[in-house]
Chain A
Amino acid sequence: MNEVEAKPVWHRRNLLDINSLSREEIEALFKTAHSFREVSTRSVKKVPALRGQVVVNLFYEPSTRTRISFTLAAQRLSADVVDFIADASSISKGETLVDTANNIIAMGVDTIVLRHPAPGAARFLASNVDVAVVNAGDGAHSHPTQGLLDLYTLLDNLGSLEGRRVAIVGDISHSRVARSGMLAFRKFGAEVVLVGPPTLVPRSFSELEGVTISHSLDAVLGDVDAICLLRMQRERQGAGLFPSLEEYSRLFGMNSERLQRCRDDVLILHPGPMNRGIEITPDVADGERSRVLAQVTNGLAVRMAVLYMVAGGSA
């Protein structure tokens, strides 16, 4: 075998959040993801890198697309994948997270992909079990692979984020996507403006360097290179945080009229699933500035890179 040229920078056995990653680690991950995009263009979309390994999707919250993305990512690396959807089984019998995980690990598992409603669940699990742990969303805390794939998509389109401005629009308070994106974009030099009604944007975020808050989408439109829309969760309606979805849509929804006032080369991102007609109109979602489907494709490559990297991690 040829000697490895570049000194490996990734030694982590877990991916728990964005904040603990260095810029160098993210760059190494993206370089790997770039190679995996090539794999997805082959007629045989599979490489033997993780042959014989087992990845478990341990999901305590419903999520179809993130789970499928991780499943495909693992399968393209030739790992075996098992889904453990915890709502119906052990959780209702009172088993703890660590017990559930250890039971699964006892069957010979190498990596756990965890989705859990409690912030910090992934870190807690990682410090209590002896396998690699990948956070696929823990409460409102973090969704690192989403933050990374958003960052990857922006870098892929813009080259660099130095001096760029990115708006994140919607329910910032309850969004792990917003937190992960914000931290990821900042690490690569972008300024971030958080946009939403005062009830949905924590004021304390403005204390972060390079982060500002605006309560008017119209005020920032012409001033940003990319707009990341968040899914407005219908469940939040009626909680007194905003008057109605109609009003939210009028003030913070992205439509073609607003797109006209953006820069010509603005990028529109959305983590999905989209509420068409609420945070984004169909013509914008399907329009030429939208990168929504590129996000999905890139997400697969980024998750392949994450699973590949943590498989060799030790720390």
Chain B
Amino acid sequence: MKERVLYDARQTRTTIDAFLDGLASRYREHVDAFPDQPLQIVGIRRRGDTLARRLEARLSSAGVTVPQLGVLDITLYRDDFSPSRPQPMVSPSEIPFEVEGAHIWLVDDVFQTGRTIRAALNQLSDFGRPRCVTLAVFIDRQMRELPICPDVVGLELERPSDERVQLHLEEVDGVENVVGVVHGE
């Protein structure tokens, strides 16, 4: 397994800050335009939820009240089950609001193929029928396997298709950077 740093800590922080600034101002615009329509933020575990928490902190320090965040764990909705391979650990999902009719911002860290988002949308629909879902991802690989694409992107990154792009965040990983991982020799 070979890992190389694509964005170091400083570059990553700057880019995330710009991404979250953009989201925060869009959020404020929405709240100003539709004060009676709460905008729900849902992060996909793990790191999408971390980014969602950072966005929430940014908004509340700017005086914008955000409804309680939702967290999705999509493990049980994966499409790559295979027997004789240990099951990935599952964590609970937390959706502390009525999904029926809600306007939801779905936040994830890296958009690799679209499969995570496919799983997340299926799971959300098990909670209810949202009125509208907007997808915000920090990194877009520009590599689609399904007809799904993000609405808001922090960083477009074209990399070889055998390379996995991973975002590391201080809260989860103890470091902050973007790395490319190539499996095999």
Contacts and interface: CB of A to CB of B under 8 A. Distances in A.
B146 interface: no
A257 interface: no
B86 A313 contact: yes
Interface of B: 44-47, 73-78, 80-94, 109-110, 112-113, 115-116, 119, 122-123, 126-128, 164, 166
Q: Is the interface of A mostly helix, strand, loop or mixed?
A: loop
Nearest to B95: A42
Interface stretch (A4-12, A172-180, A262-270): A4-12
B106 to A, nearest CB: 14
Contact of B112 (A1, A39, A110): A1
8 contacts: A5-B46, A8-B89, A35-B93, A38-B92, A38-B94, A42-B127, A46-B126, A110-B83
Interface residues of A, number: 35
B127 A38 contact: no
A312 B92 contact: no
Contact of A8 (B87, B92, B127): B87
Contacts of A46: 126
A47 interface: yes
Interface of A: 1-6, 8, 10-11, 13, 28, 31-32, 34-39, 42-44, 46-50, 77, 110, 308-309, 311-314
A44 B126 contact: yes
Contacts of A5: 46, 89
B166 A3 contact: yes
Contacts of A13: 84
Contacts of A314: 83-86
A4 B88 contact: yes
A35 B116 CA distance: 18
Given A5-B89, A36-B90, A39-B76, 15 more contacts: A1-B115, A2-B109, A4-B89, A6-B89, A11-B86, A31-B90, A32-B87, A35-B92, A35-B93, A37-B92, A44-B126, A48-B77, A312-B82, A312-B87, A313-B86
